[in-house]
A and B are shown apart, each in its own frame.
Chain A
Amino acid sequence: MQREPIRVVLAEDGVLLREGLAGLFDRFGFQVAAAVGDADALKRAVAEHRPGLVVTDIRMPPGFTDEGLRAAVELREADPDLPVVVLSQYVQHRYAADLLGSGGGRGIGYLLKDRVVDVEEFIDALERVAAGGTAVDPQVVSQLLRRRRDPLSALTARERDVLALIAEGRSNAAVARLLHVSEAAVGKHVGAILAKLDLPQTEDTNRRVLAVLAYLRG
């Protein structure tokens, strides 16, 4: 790999999964600066290592509720440019909203824990976030799409597919690759979607994601 290895601080209380993730990061050229098991250790490790990416479980000791999330929000308040990916056991829209609200949605990821086993997808999401992008779990997006069925009925099926992928934080190029169409075609779809939903036209993937998510949340 040509690029500088991304330095990661990993927080996950399950030893097996922590080791598995550390191995995964090594395999894909990330450098694991620290792998810890609770939120306090996470905050200390971030202060010490100044990593390029934080990956943390939401549910951690001692309370096993949302320690990881609160630590993530704190870290983002201290440093809005710190890329953070949180792993959640279940979809909690409030969590996603809390996170996306911090630092203008730049360099943030909210993924379900089960997603880590789709190795390449997961790594793709991490790299996107490390580069300042957004990664929203497909399940979060699909729930949002389902709830806004009526206003979305103006979209064609293909446009809805494209909308879902943009909402997850994908670039036009990635959408084109995933849907096996040309990037120009994706651009055309995106333009149509934004027009139909009365959203501002923008080339900035990040702002586009936030606008779409804000729209979907209603």
Chain B
Amino acid sequence: MDEPRTALEALGRRRLPVSAWPWRAALHLLTVAPLAAAAFAVLGVPWVVLAARLAGGGAGIGEAAVLMLVGIALIAVLGPLVSAPLARAARRGLRRVDHRRIDPRPRPPGPWLRTRYTDPGARLETAYACLIAFASPVLVLAVPLTVVLAGTFVASPVLVLAQRPGDLPVALAFGQVSTVGQTLPYVSAGLVLLAALPYLATLLAGVHGAAARALLTGAPDEDLRAELVEVSRSRTRLADAFEAERLRIERDLHDGAQQRLVGLTLKLGLARLDLPPGSPAAATVGEAHDQAKHLMAELRELIHGIRPQILTDLGLAAALGELADASPVPVTVDARLDGRLPGQVEHTAYFVAAEALTNVARHSGAASARVTARVRDGLLTVDVADDGRGGADPGLGTGLTGLADRVAVTGGRMLLSSPAGGPTVLRVELPCNENRSA
């Protein structure tokens, strides 16, 4: 089992009495005692007076009301001020019984004095101060009293034996004893109390620690998790935005520049035919025509690199088919995908498959390869397997490491199995919510 991180967690462990936790807890309570005493001194006095007067039966309604008002006013006015140093000290002491990260709540901007009265965090610190003020009797006295009581019980035979004739019987909690035999129940009760002492100390310290963590710290785990979720969401949004932008650029280039360029090249081709062969004009126009054709090829490549048009038009299955057709190594494609997948997923899967097939052709020495694509339970799995010599190493600049990042953005993962001697299987898993409307 893991090492317990807090006193409360340690409480459930069998080895608690022999561990360091009870000692830590005791030390913790010892450091809390002055804090509790200070809080009590500032905030608790009117309430104690009130309690005493009520218990004594001498307090009228008016007096009780005044005492209560004074008590509330003290808490409202002084509470926020005294709670600040108390909270600081308590957070320091918390380390003894709570080994998790301890982060103070971030202080809101503004003058200190004002934020003490407006910040919700400061209010929680004040609540902490009240809590330890009123719990101070238990926090401060429970353990020492138990120690004294248990010690007296256990020592009672000695006390009885040490008596000289004529002395009064020894008074213990529930009565008086005058013979060793009468002390035996007390001795056993004392032993039980002693055995319970580590648990009592750890429990008190643990409960105090949990309250202090809840009231005084920024619950870093949850904050951090929430932040991480938000970061990964925003990363996905960013990737989606990039994908949308890619799509837009591809459409713009295709519908605009590419169309115009084809029109222009066609005109040049026609002009070339209308000029007398061998004339200087024909040579120039012929050159221009050739250059325009090169430019067409370059633009086509460029658009393909941004987002293959077949992927945009027909989706992943068709695009994988095209990839396979263009591969110098014979590739079979088995893509069973109903409908379209989210653009980002299609794009990522396509580029992983393209890179994998390039590697197959370049490095594997394979005679054939196979691409399989399936969607199951909202997870797209694409396998690229070849019968080559294996030994592919993603660290050797095969371009796969960059793709792993793109895969990670979609919340997916990429796996490579390539033992020496083959076969090599590259698998990419991408979460997707199938989108039939494309």
Instruction: Give me the interface of A with B, judged by CB distance under 8 Å.
Output: 14, 16-17, 19-21, 23-24, 27, 59, 64-66, 89-94, 113-114, 116-120, 143, 146-147, 149
The CA of A114 and the CA of B262, in the complex, are separated in Å by 7
B313 engages A59 (CB within 8 Å): yes
CB pair B309 A116 closer than 8 Å:
no
Chain B: minimal CB distance from A22 (Å): 11
B321 contacts A94, CB within 8 Å? yes
Does any Cβ of A come within 8 Å of B48's Cβ? no
**CB contacts between A and B, total, < 8 Å:** 82
Q: Please determine whether A119 and B266 come into contact, CB atoms closer than 8 angstroms.
A: yes
Q: Cβ of A91 and Cβ of B326 under 8 Å apart?
A: yes
Residues of A within 8 A of B318 (CB): 92, 94
In the complex, besides A114-B297, A117-B265, 17 extra interface pairs with C-beta distance below 8 angstroms are A20-B262, A20-B266, A21-B266, A23-B270, A65-B313, A65-B314, A66-B313, A66-B314, A90-B310, A92-B318, A94-B318, A114-B296, A118-B269, A120-B273, A147-B327, A147-B328, A147-B330
User: Which residues of A have CB within 8 Å of B296?
Assistant: 114, 117
The answer on a CB contact under 8 Å between B267 and A20 is: yes
Q: Are A117 and B293 in contact (CB under 8 A)?
A: yes
CB distance from A139 to the nearest CB of B (A): 9
Report the minimal beta-carbon distance from A49 to chain B, rounded to whole angstroms: 24
Determine whether the beta carbon of B325 is less than 8 Å from that of A93: yes
Report the bound CA distance from A119 to B269 in whole Å: 6
| Residues of A with C-beta under 8 A to B289 | 117
Complex contact A16–B263 (CB within 8 A): yes
Distance of A143 Cα from B268 Cα, bound (Å):
29
How many angstroms from the CA of A91 to the CA of B297 in the assembled complex? 14
Tell me if B310 and A92 are in contact (CB < 8 A): yes
List the B residue with the shortest CB-CB distance to A147. Answer: B330
Give the residues in chain B near A143, CB-CB below 8 Å.
Answer: 325-326
Q: Which residues of chain B from 330 to 384 have a CB within 8 Å of any chain A CB?
A: 330
Docked complex Cα distance between A23 and B300 (Å): 24
- B266-A90 in contact (CB<8A): no
Which of A19, A21, A90, A94 is the one whose CB lies under 8 Å from B309? A90
* Complex alpha-carbon distance, A93 and B330, angstroms: 14
Can you report 29 A-B residue pairs in the complex whose CB atoms are below 8 A from each other? A14-B255, A14-B259, A14-B262, A16-B260, A16-B262, A17-B259, A17-B262, A17-B266, A19-B263, A20-B263, A64-B313, A66-B314, A89-B310, A90-B310, A91-B325, A92-B318, A93-B321, A94-B321, A113-B262, A116-B262, A117-B265, A117-B269, A117-B289, A117-B296, A119-B273, A120-B273, A143-B326, A147-B325, A147-B330
Cα separation A113 to B266 with both chains bound (whole Å): 11
A64 to B255, CA, bound (A): 11
Interface residue count on the B side (C-beta < 8 Å): 33
Chain B, residue nearest A12 (CB):
B259
Residues 292-310 of chain B, each 1 if its beta carbon lies under 8 Å from chain A, else 0: 1100110010000000111
Docked pose: A91 CA to B300 CA in angstroms: 13
Quick one: closest A residue to B297, CB to CB? A114
Closest 7 CB pairs of A and B: A119-B269, A16-B263, A117-B265, A14-B259, A20-B266, A20-B263, A65-B313
Residue ID in chain A nearest B300 by CB atoms = A114
Chain B contacts with A in 261-290, Cβ cutoff 8 A: 262-263, 265-270, 272-273, 289
Which residues from B are CB-within-8-Å of A23?
A: 270
- Alpha-carbon separation in the docked complex, A149 to B289 (Å): 34
Q: Which chain A residues border B267 with CB–CB below 8 Å?
A: 20
| B262 engages A117 (CB within 8 Å) | yes
B322 located at the interface, meaning its Cβ lies under 8 Å from any Cβ of chain A in the complex: yes
Chain A residues, Cβ within 8 Å of B321? 92-94
- A111–B292 Cα distance when bound, in Å, is 19
- Give Cα A149–Cα B327 distance, bound, in whole angstroms: 12
Taking a contact as CB atoms closer than 8 A, the residue among A14, A24, A64, A146 that contacts B270 in the complex is A24
Q: Nearest chain-B residue to A96 (Cβ)?
A: B325
**Which one of A59, A65, A92, A117 has the highest number of Cβ atoms from chain B below 10 Å of its Cβ?**
A117
Min CB distance A14 to B, Å, is 4
| Minimum Cβ distance to chain B for residue A124 (Å) | 13
Cβ distance B266 to chain A, nearest Cβ, rounded Å = 4
B255, A117: Cβ atoms under 8 Å?
A: no
Shortest A91–chain B CB gap in Å is: 6
Rounded to whole Å, the gap between the CB of A217 and the closest CB of chain B is 10
Residue of A nearest to B268 (CB): A117
Chain A residues within 8 Å of B266, by CB:
17, 20-21, 24, 116-117, 119
Instruction: With both chains docked as a complex, state the minimum distance between the C-beta of A173 and any C-beta of chain B, in angstroms.
Output: 22
Q: How far is A149 from B326 in the complex, measured between Cα atoms in Å?
A: 13
Q: How far is the CA of A158 from the CA of B332 in the complex (A)?
A: 29
Q: In the assembled complex, which residues on chain A have CB atoms less than 8 Å from the CB atom of B292? A: 117
Residues of A within 8 A of B327 (CB): 147
> What CA separation (Å) do A16 and B260 show in the bound complex?
7
Chain A residues in 8 Å Cβ range of B314: 65-66, 92
Give the residues in chain B near A64, CB-CB below 8 Å: 313
Chain B residue nearest to A143 (CB atoms) is B325
